[in-house]
A and B are shown apart, each in its own frame.
Chain A
Amino acid sequence: AQRVTQPEKLLSVFKGAPVELKCNYSYSGSPELFWYVQYSRQRLQLLLRHISRESIKGFTADLNKGETSFHLKKPFAQEEDSAMYYCALPRASNYQLIWGAGTKLIIKP
């Protein structure tokens, strides 16, 4: 079964430290993965997607098919990065996005 796992419910790091939010998936085929973010009192919004291979707000994510991972990384965390982060996997067969449980990122000053 297709599944997305975010093993950390909470991640707390100091400002300026590197951040890595973990996402593991199970999928047969070539996956397309997304990271969505929800800042406090804001809506869920797309942060970045695998296919774009871009850096958004300093975040990058590399698809590692061998390890079936799509970890989100940022070299130097900023306080405004504090938010809930969700990894999501599209299942084209029924137009469904499969979501991880989310990781709450807290950046300490």
Chain B
Amino acid sequence: DAGVTQSPTHLIKTRGQQVTLRCSPISGHKSVSWYQQVLGQGPQFIFQYYEKEERGRGNFPDRFSARQFPNYSSELNVNALLLGDSALYLCASSGGTSVYNEQFFGPGTRLTVL
């Protein structure tokens, strides 16, 4: 198993555009969480999905949305991009619903908004 995979690795967009980031969890993991990590800060929780349902949402505007597919992969969408959306976006999968389960992280997608 390659672990959690994310695509693309890097992305450059301009303000106002829309972006879709993708994540494939470890085989057998049904939970996927998304985080935003701005340079110099720790990850900030965006969403958690389990069995295709949103289980948790962080303090992010409605421009951020996500979904989970039957194979447990997930997409994070960000509309109307702002300069402040430039960050590393991390996806993590875990084997259960509990936030106390160990989370396994992907390598991240580096988004630059110009």
Contacts and interface: CB of A to CB of B under 8 A. Distances in A.
Contacts of B56: 94-96
Interface string B1-18: 001100000000000000
A6 to B, nearest CB: 8
Question: What size tier do the contact residues of chain B reach?
Answer: 20 to 34
B105 A99 contact: no
A98 B44 CA distance: 7
Given A43-B3, A44-B90, A97 B103 contact: yes
A95 B55 contact: yes
Contacts of B41: 101-102
A70 interface: no
A25 interface: no
Contact of B45 (A97, A100, A101): A97
B105 A90 contact: no
Interface size class of A (residues with CB under 8 A): 20 to 34
Nearest to A96: B45
Contacts of A90: 99-100
Contacts of B98: 92
Nearest to B102: A46
Interface string A70-105: 000000000000000010101110111111111000
Interface of A: 4, 6, 9, 32, 43-46, 49, 51, 86, 88, 90-92, 94-102
Q: Which 10 A-B pairs have the closest CB atoms?
A: A99-B42, A95-B56, A94-B56, A90-B99, A44-B105, A96-B45, A95-B48, A95-B55, A43-B105, A95-B99
Given A95-B48, A99-B42, 13 more contacts: A32-B100, A43-B106, A44-B43, A44-B105, A45-B104, A86-B42, A88-B42, A94-B56, A96-B48, A96-B99, A97-B45, A97-B99, A99-B43
